[in-house]
Structures are given as structure tokens and as C-alpha cells.
Structure 1
Amino acid sequence: MYIVVLEYIKPLDEVDYALPEHVDWLKKQYDAGLFLASGRQVPRTGGVIITRPMPRGKLDALLATDPFAVQKLARYQVIEFQATRTAPELAGLNEAVLS
């Protein structure tokens, strides 16, 4: 699994302009079953995405298609971890097939 921390590198008015495209992009990732949670940081300096397990190259390629990345509005820190314990709602993540 990964935690992706986005840090805005442009003013919020530029980020807000691209936000509808970013939200559409997020929806596509949820629909594909790739993302588990996402949201804004508090204070609003960026965002956080929690993903399902996947090969790192697949995640990097996916993040490169985010409108925030395409428009150079954010930088990304990717933290990989192996969940050894999860809430019942997340059962089965450790057995996920990496494709």
C-alpha cells in the first residue's frame, strides 16, 4: 500500500482552477478500485491519497496523469508500507494480487 502526500507548489487560486479536473481524475481511480481514501491536508497545503497495493511503477505512472502533476501544481511524496493490521473494513488488502 502507499500513502501519497501532495504538497502544493503553486498558489491556491491556480490549484482551485485545476481542482475539477483533479476530482474527476480521483473518481476514475476510485472507480478502478485503486484508491481507498483521499482528502485535503489541514491546513490546506496539499492532500493525501491512500492507495491499494500495486507495483510502484504503476503508481508512478498513474500519478503522472494527475492534472496537478501535469500542470506542475504539486509535488508528491510516496510512502510505501505493508499493512500488517487493518480495520475489518479493509480486510483482504494483505492478500491483494499485485498486478
Structure 2
Amino acid sequence: MFVILVHYTKRWEEVEPDVEDHKTYLERFYASGHLLFSGPQTTRTGGVILGRFDSEDEAWEMVKGDPFYTRGLAKYDVISFRATKAAPEFRELLG
């Protein structure tokens, strides 16, 4: 699994017009089963994405196509982790 932290490099007012393009882009990764959760940080300084990818390279491929990335609106941290425990309603995600 991967946690992808999104950090806006521009003010929110400059990012906001591109939010719908960003959401539309992420939809294809939800449809393919790669993404599990995503959403903005409550401080509006970025976002968080939780996904399943076969490798860090594959996660970065997703990031590099994101309109926030291609338009220079955000930088990203891609963090790989091995989920070993989950709440009962999410255990099936452990694989």
C-alpha cells in the first residue's frame, strides 16, 4: 500500500480552479482498483491519497499524470507501507 501526501505549492485560490480536473483524473484509478481513499487536508494545504500499487514506480506514474503535478500546483511524497492490521470492516483490503 501507499500513502501519497499532496502538498500544494501555490495558494489555495490558485489550486481551486484545477480541483475538478484532479478529481476526474483520480476516478480512473478508483475504477481500476488502485485507489482506496482520497481527500483534501482540512487545512487546505494539500491532500492525502491511499492506494494499492504493485511498486513505488507505479505509484509515481499515477502521480506524474495528476493535473496538480503537471501544472506545478503540488509536490508529492509517496510512502510505501505494509498494512498488517485493519478495522474489521477494512480487513479485506489487507489482501
Moved more, 16-25 or 49-58: 49-58
**What is the root-mean-square deviation in Å for CA atoms of aligned residues?**
1.3
TM-score (norm 2): 0.91
Show CA shifts across 1:35-69 (max 9, x none): 11011112110000001242111111111000000
Structure 2 gap ranges (5+): none
Aligned residue pair count? 95
The normalised TM-score by structure 1 is 0.88
Unaligned runs of 5+ in 1: none
Within a 5 Å distance, the mapping from 1:22-61 to structure 2 comes to 22-61=22-61
> For 1:91, what is the secondary structure of its paired residue?
helix
SS of the counterpart of 1:44?
Answer: coil
- Give the Cα separation in 1 of the matches to 2:38 and 2:79: 14
| C-alpha contact (below 8 Å) 2:37/2:51 kept by paired residues | yes
Task: Indicate the structure with greater helix content.
Answer: 2
CA distance in 2, matches of 1:62, 1:43: 24
What is the percentage of aligned positions where both structures have the same residue?
A: 37
Task: Please state whether the residue corresponding to 1:64 is helix, strand or coil.
Answer: helix
